[in-house]
């Protein structure tokens, strides 16, 4: 959850080196920092993030949310005098995009508060999350934001996992979750993300947990523990997307990664 400002850049910024260190930005020829690109990754053998790989597939939940934002903007924005349909539509699109950016920023702050809490700087959001987790998994030691690079050609940062890796947690922020069951909030992409994290650090039989935090009330939290039987399917789905990503981008760093890791 560190460096979330850059994590919310375009997918061009989500890269990791062979050691598993995030390389979201790079110093350009002009000496200024800029987002890392696929072209940079090819030169430096960086790997894409889990979210970047899963991003090549459609996300029904996210797409539905975007549609809702667009409809809401169209219903609430006042039509300006002498404004034609094209101009009004442009304002609707801009407004709905702004709402999406605001939601992402709130999610960034919530994730940052959780990370700060696990780093020793307690706050209201962290305490609520920690109490929730401790109720489900008491007496566990946790590592926040552990990163990795897997030799098949991808990397990532894990929101939270136990010190003895077995339990993997990913945090999601959503609106209006009060009274909702966590099972109604999850999608296969969430399971894929957690399964890929487990594989990334070599865990065969993980416990995967998706935790949802309400954006307007961070003390409102629900969690979903994934059925272990879905892990193999989610892992197969992710690996299929990884193969597709490599073909789509015409870039497969896996052979070079093995050489780099062996040389250390």
Other CB atoms closer than 10 Å to residue 106's CB: what's the count? 16
Least confident residue range of 55-69, 83-97, 129-143: 55-69
263, exposed or middle or buried, with CB in 10 Å at 0-12, 13-18, 19+?
Answer: exposed
d(CA 7, CA 181): 28
| Confidence band for 13, pLDDT divided at 50, 70 and 90 | low
Query: Would you say residue 250 has pLDDT above 60?
Result: yes
- Bridge partners (DSSP) of residue 154 are 150
Q: What share of the chain is helix, strand, coil (3-state, %, to 5)?
A: 50, 20, 30
Mean pLDDT of 181-203: 95
Mean pLDDT of 198-226: 96
* DSSP track, 156-180: EEEEEEESSS-EEEEEEEES--TT-
Mean model confidence pLDDT for the chain: 89
Closest CA to 221 of 230, 211, 229, 231: 211
Query: Would you say residue 132 has pLDDT above 60?
Result: yes
Other CB atoms closer than 10 Å to residue 68's CB: what's the count? 13
What is the H or E stretch that residue 110 is in? helix 85-118
pLDDT of residue 12: 43
Mean pLDDT of 50-76: 80
| Confidence band for 82, pLDDT divided at 50, 70 and 90 | confident
d(CA 112, CA 103): 14
High-pLDDT (> 90) share of the chain, %? 68
pLDDT of residue 62: 64
| Confidence band for 42, pLDDT divided at 50, 70 and 90 | very high
Which DSSP symbol is given to 208? E
Q: Give 194's Cβ-side CA count (13 Å radius).
A: 31
Q: Give 54's Cβ-side CA count (13 Å radius).
A: 24
pLDDT of residue 69: 76
| Confidence band for 3, pLDDT divided at 50, 70 and 90 | very low
Would you give the distance in Å from CA 173 to the centre of its chain? 11
Mean pLDDT of 167-174: 96
pLDDT of residue 198: 97
- The model's pTM is 0.84
């Amino acid at each position: 959850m560190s460096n979330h400002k850059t994590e919310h850049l375009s997918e061009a910024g989500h890269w990791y080196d062979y050691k598993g260190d995030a390389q979201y930005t790079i110093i350009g020829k002009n000496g200024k920092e800029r987002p890392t690109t696929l072209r940079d990754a090819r030169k430096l053998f960086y790997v894409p993030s889990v979210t970047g790989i899963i991003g090549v597939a459609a996300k029904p939940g996210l797409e539905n949310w975007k549609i809702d934002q667009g409809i809401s903007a169209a219903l609430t924005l006042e039509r300006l005098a002498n404004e034609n349909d094209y101009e009004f539509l442009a304002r609707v699109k801009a407004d709905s995009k702004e709402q999406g950016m605001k939601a992402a920023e709130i999610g960034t702050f919530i994730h940052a508060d959780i990370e700060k809490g696990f780093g020793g700087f307690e706050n209201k959001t962290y305490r609520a999350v920690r109490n929730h987790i401790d109720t489900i998994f008491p007496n566990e030691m946790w590592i926040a934001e552990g990163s990795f690079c897997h030799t098949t050609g991808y990397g990532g940062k894990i929101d939270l996992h136990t010190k003895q890796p077995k339990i993997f947690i990913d945090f999601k922020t959503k609106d209006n979750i009060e009274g909702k069951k966590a099972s109604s909030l999850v999608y296969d992409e969430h399971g894929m993300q957690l399964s890929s994290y487990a594989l990334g650090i070599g865990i065969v039989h993980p416990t995967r947990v998706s935790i949802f935090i309400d954006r307007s009330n961070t003390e409102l939290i629900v969690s979903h523990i994934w059925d272990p039987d879905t892990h193999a399917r989610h892992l197969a789905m992710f690996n299929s997307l990884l193969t597709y990503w490599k073909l789509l981008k015409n870039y497969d760093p896996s052979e070079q990664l093995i050489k780099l890791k062996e040389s250390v």
